[in-house]
Structure formats: structure tokens, C-alpha cells
Homo-oligomer: A and B are copies of this chain.
Amino acid sequence: MKPFIHTIFIASFVLVLTTSVHAQNSAPLPSWNKSPAKQAITLFVKNVTTEGQPHYVPPAERIAVFDNDGTLWSEQPMYFQLAFALDRVKTLASEHPEWKTTQPFKAVLDGDMATVLSGGEHALIDLVMATHAGNTTEEFSHIVKDWLVTARHPKTKRLYTDMVYQPMLELLTYLRANGFKTYIVSGGGIEFMRPWTEQVYGIPPEQVIGSSIKTEFEIRNGVPVLVRLPQINFIDDKAGKPVGINQHIGRRPIAAFGNSDGDLQMLQWVCSGNSKRFCLYVHHTDATREWAYDRNSSIGRLDKGLDEAKTEGWSVVDMKSDWKRIYPIINQ
């Protein structure tokens, strides 16, 4: 168990570093430049938190939902969970000699991403099932934590949990300080996120909604466990996001934050309520400090959403001009 304790220690340390930037500032949203998006956020919060005002919302109903990939942390050149799956194929390869000749595993082991991606959704599902299932929920949680304290992003060389957006960390803190309950609503795996979202974002496991595989209750050697099965349970993307929110929360949030067309239905659903609502898209415009992509990207495509934001009057963050800093300051 020693290595695991070590892991926890490092993870806690990362947390202190990634959240310290905000703690030093007393004005809200210090990493946000003065911009229409920042103004719209603070005006909305003032409107819904001022008692006696027409748009006042009681604390229990102040629910804000955030997409994760591309909204709270980066998602290029591939979703970080896919990087995890690829690393996991390499780790497990010795137990699976058949992978040397079976796709998409062979391509992963050969480092041939073009072939992996040419297999489309089917290949990705095969990868997820082979790397995410077969263990208990508690074992999987440890595997994810262990990966996150060692794996580094190929371009930035940062830990993946150091590629969260500093301005969004500040936004989460600001909303919570104003009585909001903050949730993640991601197409990513719910059990891939829960082991670290509390430390990194301050969002506890019960406020994380995501895609999932089925689990089954089993008594193993006299100990009750939940075993992860290689079957899809729920895809929390596009029209699945409002469905997932309703399943988990049971009421309509009053604020939603996303970055892609995969978040469009969530924003539509949240911002169509009767009372004051707030919807915002993070637009990836910064090719120097992060990545620039939108209508033609295969990852995090923002096309219909960009048009609808204009029609509906939703806020759009221009990362390049609106954010002073992208990632937290860390001691590397």
C-alpha cells in the first residue's frame, strides 16, 4: 500500500499548488481580463443572489453545470482519457499476447495513431472496454490516481491535472462563494473523473456526471464489491447531457458552461427556463498558449453552438483576449 499513500501525498501537493493562485487574490476572477463575458458573469451572479431583486434565486436552486474536456481542462491533441487508455494498453499488453496481432491494440502498441483513429468510434469503444472494465470500482479509482501523478502531456510536459484552466478554477470558487453548487457534466467517464475532481476543482464525486459502463454487485472472497463490466451504461453527450442532469440532479440548473457542440443541448435546456439563466461557451482561440480550434475540429467541434450563442445572446469567452493566464502557476 506504500506506493498508493505516496500517490495521495503527491496529489494533495498538486492541489495546494493549483489552487494557491486564487487564494492570494481577494477580488473575484483575477485571471479574467475586463471583457463582456466577465461582466456578464458578475452581473448574473449579482442578479440571482440579491434578495428582494426580481431575479433572486434561493441557494438550493443555484446549480451550475460545467462540461469538463475543453471547458475546465485542455482536450488536445486528444482527450486526456484516451491518453490514459493508450497508456493502459501498454501496461496491460504483457497479459494480452493476442493484442500484438489484433486491432486497434496492435496499432496502439506500434504507436500508430492514424490507424487507431481510422477505426472510428468502434475502435475507441474496444479500447475503453479493454482498459476500463474487469476491475472493481475501487481498484479502478486507484489506477486512475496512480496514472495522474506520473503521466505527462506530450506538448506541455505538465501533469494533466496541471492543465486545468486557472480562470475556470476561479469561476468555480466564485460561484461557490455565492452559494452555487457546482457540477461537472462531461462526456468523459464518470469514474475516470471522480478520483480527482474534488482535489483539483473542489467538486466532490457526487457532483460529477459523466458517461459510464455498467457495474455489478458481487461478493468476492466474502467482500461485497462493484465490478466494472465491458458494457456501455450511459453516454453523457449531446442530447444525453440534459438526460444525465435530470437523472442526477432532478432539477434544471440556472447556469451552464461548455465549449463544444456536445454541450449545445445542455445549454439549450438550461437557458430555456423561465427565470434568469446564464449560458457560456469557452472559445478556443489561443494557438500560442493553448490551441485554436472550432468549426472544423474533430475534437471539441464548436460550430452550431457558436451560431446559437449569437442568436441566443449567450456569453462567449475568447480565450486569447479574455484570459490573462491559461494554466495555474506551478513549481515544476
Contacts and interface: CB of A to CB of B under 8 A. Distances in A.
Interface residues of A, number: 35
Contacts of A217: 239-240, 242-243, 265, 269
Q: Give the residue among A215, A216, A226 with the most B Cβ atoms within 10 A.
A: A226
Contact of A246 (B215, B246, B250, B272): B215
A239 B216 contact: yes
A248 B215 contact: no
Interface string A207-219: 0100010011101
A113 interface: no
A268 B219 contact: yes
B215 A269 contact: no
B242 A206 contact: no
Contacts of A206: 63, 181, 248-251
B190 A223 contact: no
Contacts of A288: none
Q: Give the residue among A137, A233, A240 with the most B Cβ atoms within 10 A.
A: A137
Given A217-B239, A217-B265, A226 B250 contact: no
A246 B268 contact: no
A272 B239 contact: no
A54 interface: no
A247 interface: yes
B246 A226 contact: yes
Q: Rank and list the top 5 A-B pairs by shortest CB-CB distance, nearest first.
A: A205-B250, A217-B239, A194-B250, A224-B269, A206-B249
13 contacts: A63-B206, A181-B206, A194-B250, A205-B249, A205-B250, A206-B249, A206-B251, A215-B247, A217-B239, A217-B243, A219-B268, A224-B242, A233-B247
